[in-house]
Amino acid sequence: MLDTLLAYAARGLTQASWGTWIAYTLVVTQLTIFSVTLYLHRSQTHRGVDFHPVIAHFFRFWSWLSTGMVTKEWVAIHRKHHAKVETEEDPHSPQIYGIRKVFWEGVELYRDASTNAGDMEKYGRGTPDDWIERHVYSASPYAGPTLMLLIDLALFGAVGGVIWALQMIWIPFWAAGFVNGIGHWWGYRNFESADTSTNVSPWGFWIGGEELHNNHHAFPSSAKFALRKWEFDIGWAAIRLFETLRLATVLRVAPSLDLRPNVHLPDADTVRAVLAHRFHVMSDYFRGVIVPTMRDEAAHAGAGIKALPRKLRNALGNGGRWLDAASRERLNAFTETHPQLRTVCEFRARLAALTERNGRNGDALLDSLKQWCHEAEATGIRTLAEFAARLKGYKLVGDQA
């Protein structure tokens, strides 16, 4: 009898081997990742996809069971992050709090943000408000992880406690710390979005596709995060599987961009494409105009351009938005001594202002875009004129010619 009790305490009801422990841990943590990225993030927060009620409720139950997160709180905090990104009101910006605090204390920042009742009501609208949400999930958020602990202990004994501990730190580390921290601090950028978001990896496996964070900030409502041919989003693969099984309906994906040759003036199609792909436009401008101009300046002015630190050279892509005052002053002083570079930077700032959604009507935007293209071509700067010619031909795939 004692031997049986000791065996149960050590290995639980399953008496499983280490291989089973690893497999179980990988399955339950991946389910938690999918519950966050598919249900809380892409479906509830951004309305990019709808799931069959059975699937949606399973994800809601699993996120409660494995994390204790309340749907309304998670959604509200993330929506506020997008609305106030990189400002003092952003719940978890490394630009404000520093990378160390966001990475290691992301859960504390989340908890602090969840106590703001006004934000919860303002940004948490449209989330589940049924009986089980009011009386179980929201009323007893810690009951879920407690139940999960009992299940793990029953299945695997003492080892189950270790597995449960890994489950409890999985989302705080990978979502609250890694995505919110590293995803705004290090990586590559496809789009010159109005924040510091980055793609940590082009292959989004480990944390459900959330690695493609810059793509997400460029097109928040898109259910698909992979936007380049060489990128992969395992969350999108799961959505397509559910869609095939008629368990999901994709509502929004990022619009595709087309280029029409030999368009002499911007038109309504151009305006729609520029507004929808405004971050793409600015990225194209940096790579197609500013970078070649810096190369030309370096070829004619020796080491002058190369002496500018990489951080400042890259800052030309966003107008020095994230530089401190001293660095911005240094960058401005540098461009003043390079007239051609100064010109393309000035045109970049004007184009950025045009692409922002500021309430102007389509006709006014079209007139401004025509003037911008005309003046860009009149500068005599080859790369700027070529970009203006290409910009005229922008069109969303599916728009009528």
321-373 pLDDT tens trace? 888 899 999 999 989 988 999 999 999 999 999 888 655 567 888 999 999 99
Query: Is residue 401 situated within a structural domain?
Result: no
Tens of pLDDT, residue by residue over 200-250, are 999 999 999 999 999 999 999 999 999 999 999 999 999 999 999 999 999
Please tell me whether residues 297 and 347 are part of one structural domain: yes
Q: Is residue 317 part of a domain?
A: yes
Give the model's confidence band at 176: pLDDT under 50 very low, under 70 low, under 90 confident, else very high.
confident
Predicted local distance difference test score (pLDDT) of residue 2: 62
pTM of the predicted model as reported, rounded to 2 decimal places: 0.91
Residue 126 bridge partners (DSSP): none
Six-digit token string for 357: 């959604």
Per-residue pLDDT at 299? 76
- Asked if the structure places residue 341 within a domain, the reply is yes
For residue 136, what pLDDT band results from cuts at 50, 70 and 90?
very high
pLDDT tens-digit series, residues 368-399? 999 999 999 999 999 999 999 999 999 999 76
Q: Final residue of a domain: which of 198, 220, 250? A: 250
Q: Give a yes or no: residue 47 inside a domain.
A: yes
Is the per-residue pLDDT at 122 higher than 60?
Answer: yes
Residue 302 pLDDT grade (very low, low, confident, very high; cuts 50, 70, 90): low
Residue 357: burial class (beta carbons within 10 Å; 0-12, 13-18, 19+): exposed
Residue type, 378: A
* Residue 304 pLDDT level (bands cut at 50, 70, 90): low
**pLDDT for the residue numbered 178:** 93
The stretches of 290-361 forming alpha helices (DSSP H) are 291-301, 310-315, 325-336, 339-355
Range of the domain at 324: 259-396
User: Same domain for 240 and 281?
Assistant: no
Nearest C-alpha neighbor of 329 from the set 311, 342, 312, 306: 312
211 and 66, same domain (yes or no): yes
Q: How many domains does the chain have?
A: 2
- In a domain, residue 385? The reply is yes
Q: Is 169 part of a structural domain of the chain?
A: yes
Burial of 53 (0-12, 13-18, 19+ CB in 10 A): exposed
What's at 52, amino acid-wise?
A: H
Please say if the pLDDT value at position 7 is more than 80.
Answer: no
Same domain, 246 and 273: no
Domain boundary among 189, 221, 250: 250
Instruction: For residue 96, tell me if it sits in a domain.
Output: yes
Task: Please give the single-letter amino acid code of residue 132.
Answer: I
Same domain, 244 and 312: no
User: Out of 36-50, 126-140, 152-166, 290-304, which region has the weakest mean confidence (pLDDT)?
Assistant: 290-304
Which DSSP state fits 250? E
Classify residue 202: in a domain, yes or no.
Answer: yes
Q: 126 and 160: one domain?
A: yes
Average pLDDT value for residue range 296-311: 72
- Looking at the fold, whether 146 and 285 belong to one and the same domain comes out as no
Domain end point (choices 218, 250, 282): 250
pLDDT tens column, 245-295: 999 999 999 999 999 999 999 999 999 999 999 999 999 999 999 999 998
232: enclosing H helix or E strand: strand 232-233
- On whether both 377 and 237 belong to a single domain, the answer is no
- CA distances for 68 relative to 147, 232, 313, angstroms: 10, 29, 44
* pLDDT score recorded for residue 5: 63
What is residue 123's predicted lDDT score, i.e. its pLDDT? Answer: 98
Q: Do 113 and 169 sit in the same domain of this protein? A: yes
Judgement on whether residues 95 and 241 belong to the same structural domain of the protein = yes
Asked if pLDDT for residue 301 goes beyond 70, the answer is no
**Average pLDDT, rounded, for the chain:** 92
pLDDT at 359: 52
From its phi and psi, is residue 47 left (phi > 0), alpha (psi between -120 and 50) or beta?
Answer: left
Residues 311 and 236 in one domain: no
Q: Which of 43-47, 190-194, 326-330 is modeled with the greatest confidence?
A: 43-47
Residues 296 and 383 in one domain: yes
Residue 308 is predicted with a pLDDT of 80
Which residues are 282's β-sheet partners? none
CB 246 within 8 A of CB 72: no
Average pLDDT over residues 145-174: 95
